[in-house]
Amino acid sequence: MKPVNLLILDDKEENIISLSALLSEVEHINIISSTDPNEALKICWKNDIAIALVDVQMPEINGFEFVSLLKSNPKTNHIMAIMVTAISKEDKYLLKGLESGAVDYLYKPLNPEITVAKVTSFVQQIHIQEEIKQKNVALEESQRQLILAKEEAEEASRSKESFLANMSHEIRTPINGIVGIIHILRNTQLSNEQRDWINRLDSASNSLLLIINDILDISKIDSGMMKIEYENFSIHQKLMDINNFFKIKALDKSLAFETDIDPQLPEYIKSSPIRIQQIINNFISNALKFTEEGKITLKASVVEQLNLHYTIKFTVTDTGIGIKPEAIDKIFLAFEQGDDSITKKYGGTGLGLAIVKKLADLLHGKIEAKSTYGKGSEFSFQATFEKVDDFRQEETRDTKTTSLLHKFDNVRILVAEDNELNSFMLLHILKSWGCKVDLAKNGKIALEYVNERDYDLIMMDTHMPVMSGFQAIQEIKTHPNLKKAYTPIITISASVLQHEQDAAYKAGADSVIGKPFDPIDLYHKIDKLISKRG
């Protein structure tokens, strides 16, 4: 423990000697003394004095004045002053001392026990204060570290977001090319064998896209960027779509697939059809993956109903390999699988159920898994939904090929895209719809084309060298020639981040299409924009 500096100020040397002798038994103090108040003040300024025992009656400056001087100086106002006096114990003297800033009194003749006890207690107080001071310093330091760590985390999250945006763009762009070319090839004359190859290519690129979407989904959820979009939809229709899709897949593996819908299930509910489908699809895909024979069942049952609020449980049961009891909890963690042999035998990223769990949380629902190792598993998602009535479904359009779509008449389109595979694919698709197409490798060349010719529509990639799509859109939309300025623009965005898509609209885009895009979607977007133009 650091010793506390204690000053004794008394004009009589013998008083100092006797007081020092008395205090010799107090631990952790270092006594400094003076008979001269002026010298004592200097000592207080220069040394780290914590306690001062001040004689009241002194020539020149009396004890009260001395303490007042200590208290009026910021360098010395922290010193605890104890008045030592021989004058009466009357209240007015006591008050005078306290008013000047003293904390206590000692009366002459000094009672040794009281003197030692008082000084010891003040020394302890100072030690406690010192400890508090040190803890405060440590607290401030840890607060500083916390702020620093928070700033670092924010910086990391920003770089994660930009990494996401870049990775999303870099990977989606070539996949977009692949998906597009598959689409073009599908519309050509093919032998059965070639058609089979195309189907395999299609399924490989879809798997790749699923993995990328999973990685992006988990990052989006973790960084709070996953938005749940609620809408009214037919839950029956959704379950039937899922049933139809997976029945065929199950048949490929010679597995039975059954869907069992509770008659109490409302026709229409308000929720996020995409996310519900994502959860159920994940369960069924896993069931298909881990089942070699037997049956897979999708069941939707109403667990509880309170007015318009229906608690619905979606359960997927399989007769597959099952999960060991010790693994059942960890399979919901990202990148975790049942056991190490699973990766070797079945592949997979271990992300599916982690995403499902987080999506269920976002939908205020819960996930449950039960399994008997070697016999089968049961995964369920349960949440409460609002029943809605009088809801008309939007008409759906569904064709795998675009060859049946009517051709555009005399439509000239400028495609600004730096990726060759993509521009090649777009050129072919647009030409197959009867459009005349010009290609530009960056925003600057696109601008030059716009200055030279009039277009009915412009398709603009967002990330391009030399001049970005955003900049080129801004330039076109503020073109002095109004006809050119009003040319409809569709941006082709490989980013799944909402703010990048918002930025495209902010820059002036009339529509945004993601990568990889569905050509039918693109067709309808072009059709809408061109017919609007008249």
Both structure tokens of 331: 């399979």
Task: Count CA within 13 A, CB hemisphere, residue 533.
Answer: 19
**Complex with ligand ADP: residue 105 or 245, whichever CB lies closer:** 245
**Angstrom distance (rounded) from CA 484 to CA 382:** 53
Q: Give every CB contact of residue 160 below 8 A, 6+ residues apart in sequence.
A: 219, 223
The H-or-E segment that residue 186 falls in is helix 112-186
**Complex with ligand ADP: residue 371 or 491, whichever CB lies closer:** 371
Site for ligand ADP in 322-351 (CB under 6 A): 322-323, 331, 337-338, 342, 348-351
CA 452 to chain centre: 46
Give the chain's radius of gyration (CA, Å).
Answer: 40
- 320 touches ligand ADP by CB under 6 A: yes
Site for ligand ADP in 110-139 (CB under 6 A): none
Residue recorded with tokens 């759906």: 396
Name the one range near ligand ADP by CB under 6 A: 81-89, 123-131, 243-251, 313-321.
313-321
Q: Beta partners for 314?
A: 300, 381
**Complex with ligand ADP: residue 379 or 455, whichever CB lies closer:** 379
Site for ligand ADP in 345-384 (CB under 6 A): 348-354, 377
Both structure tokens of 200: 């395999």
Burial class (CB in 10 A: 0-12, 13-18, 19+), 22: middle
**Angstrom distance (rounded) from CA 382 to CA 315:** 9
Residue recorded with tokens 């059809």: 273
Helix, coil or strand: residue 120 = helix
User: Least separation, in Å, of the C-beta of 326 and ligand ADP?
Assistant: 12
User: Least separation, in Å, of the C-beta of 367 and ligand ADP?
Assistant: 11
Both structure tokens of 72: 């009026």
- 476 touches ligand ADP by CB under 6 A: no
The site string for ligand ADP over 176-215 (x = CB under 6 A, - otherwise) reads ----------------------------------------
Kindly tell me the sign of the dihedral angle through the C-alpha atoms of 380, 383, 387, 392: negative
- 318 touches ligand ADP by CB under 6 A: yes
**Complex with ligand ADP: residue 367 or 411, whichever CB lies closer:** 367
**Complex with ligand ADP: residue 323 or 494, whichever CB lies closer:** 323
**Angstrom distance (rounded) from CA 220 to CA 160:** 10
User: Least separation, in Å, of the C-beta of 516 and ligand ADP?
Assistant: 21
Largest CA distance in the chain: 121
- 85 touches ligand ADP by CB under 6 A: no
User: Least separation, in Å, of the C-beta of 170 and ligand ADP?
Assistant: 23
- Number of residues lying near ligand ADP (CB under 6 A): 20
User: Least separation, in Å, of the C-beta of 211 and ligand ADP?
Assistant: 9
Both structure tokens of 18: 């006797």
Task: Count CA within 13 A, CB hemisphere, residue 125.
Answer: 12
User: Least separation, in Å, of the C-beta of 471 and ligand ADP?
Assistant: 40
User: Least separation, in Å, of the C-beta of 370 and ligand ADP?
Assistant: 11
Name the one range near ligand ADP by CB under 6 A: 113-121, 262-270, 315-323, 418-426.
315-323
User: Least separation, in Å, of the C-beta of 214 and ligand ADP?
Assistant: 8
Q: Give every CB contact of residue 503 below 8 A, 6+ residues apart in sequence.
A: 462, 470
User: Least separation, in Å, of the C-beta of 176 and ligand ADP?
Assistant: 24
Name the one range near ligand ADP by CB under 6 A: 32-40, 120-128, 318-326, 442-450.
318-326
Helix, coil or strand: residue 273 = helix
Site for ligand ADP in 272-301 (CB under 6 A): 286-287, 290
142-180 burial by CB neighbour count: b if 16+ within 10 A, else e? eeeeeeeeeeeeeeeeeeebeebbebbbebbbbbbbbbb
User: Least separation, in Å, of the C-beta of 278 and ligand ADP?
Assistant: 12
Check residue 305 and report its DSSP letter: E
- 43 touches ligand ADP by CB under 6 A: no
Q: Give every CB contact of residue 121 below 8 A, 6+ residues apart in sequence.
A: none
User: Least separation, in Å, of the C-beta of 327 and ligand ADP?
Assistant: 7
User: Least separation, in Å, of the C-beta of 166 and ligand ADP?
Assistant: 24
Residue recorded with tokens 């035998």: 345
Kindly tell me the sign of the dihedral angle through the C-alpha atoms of 241, 247, 250, 252: negative
Both structure tokens of 524: 């309808």
Judged by CB under 6 A, the residue of 8, 16, 221, 321 near ligand ADP is 321
**Complex with ligand ADP: residue 83 or 215, whichever CB lies closer:** 215
User: Least separation, in Å, of the C-beta of 160 and ligand ADP?
Assistant: 21
Burial class (CB in 10 A: 0-12, 13-18, 19+), 439: middle
Residue recorded with tokens 């401030």: 140
**Complex with ligand ADP: residue 266 or 322, whichever CB lies closer:** 322
User: Least separation, in Å, of the C-beta of 453 and ligand ADP?
Assistant: 50
Which residues in this chain contact ligand ADP in the complex, by CB under 6 A? Answer: 286-287, 290, 318, 320-323, 331, 337-338, 342, 348-354, 377
